[in-house]
Each structure stands twice: as structure tokens, then as C-alpha cells.
């Protein structure tokens, strides 16, 4: 949340299970001040109902762990609504990986 307040970000990828603030709480706190910000939620612990809640609160995509890099890349592409030709191949995420991590 602090990073979003300090500088503009284009995408947030959050885990639903975090020590200080859970991902559901983060999604809720980001949605009002940043209504157009794509939020991606992932978890290896919380799935099913938690993913439904995350989407209802504003996550545009959800992904269960473990996942393949290609699955995460596809999720990012869908959230930005970019054609896949605009991104580098999954094995070469140099420039776009930093963009995705905000």
C-alpha cells in the first residue's frame, strides 16, 4: 500500500496470505483510491472462497500456487489487456518483469 502512495504503479500482484496485512485487506484498501489499478491475487493457502472474495472486492485475476511462469505472464497480459506480442517471451522477462512488479 505504501508503494502505491509513494509512486504510481501499473499493476499490483499480491499474495492473500501475508504477515502484516492480508491480501483481501490490501485489495479492499487499494480499490477506492485506485479504481483502475489491476490487482492480481495469488495464494497457495487460501483458494476457492477466498479467490471469489478477492474478485468481488476488485482483483482482476487470481492464481493458485504453485504456478508456472507462463501462467503468471498470461495473467499479467490479461490484466493489462495487452496483446501477447507486446511482451517478451516468458524466458526473457527482463524489462517487463520490473514493470510487472511495480
Q: How many domains does the chain fold into? A: 1
Q: How far apart are CA 71 and CA 80, in angstroms?
A: 14
Provide mean pLDDT across the span 41-58. 89
Q: Is 100 helix (H, G, I), strand (E, B) or coil?
A: helix
Q: pLDDT: is 61 or 5 the higher one? A: 61
- Domain hosting 12: range is 2-101
Residues in a beta bridge with 41: 14, 62
The CATH number of residue 23's host domain is 3.40.50.2300
* Residue 33 Cα distances to 16, 27, 51, 102, angstroms: 20, 11, 22, 17
pLDDT in tens, 65-102: 999 999 999 999 888 874 444 444 444 333 333 333 33
pLDDT in tens, 5-16: 678 888 999 999
Amino acid at each position: 500500500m505504501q508503494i502505491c502512495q509513494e509512486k504510481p504503479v501499473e499493476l499490483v500482484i499480491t499474495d492473500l496470505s501475508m504477515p502484516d496485512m492480508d491480501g483481501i485487506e490490501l485489495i479492499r484498501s487499494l480499490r477506492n483510491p485506485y479504481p483502475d489499478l489491476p490487482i492480481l491475487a495469488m495464494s497457495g493457502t487460501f483458494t476457492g472462497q477466498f479467490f471469489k472474495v478477492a474478485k468481488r472486492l476488485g482483483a482482476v485475476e487470481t492464481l493458485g500456487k504453485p504456478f508456472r511462469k507462463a501462467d503468471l505472464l498470461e495473467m499479467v497480459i490479461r490484466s493489462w489487456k495487452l496483446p501477447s506480442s507486446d511482451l517478451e517471451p516468458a524466458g526473457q522477462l527482463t524489462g517487463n518483469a520490473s514493470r510487472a512488479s511495480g
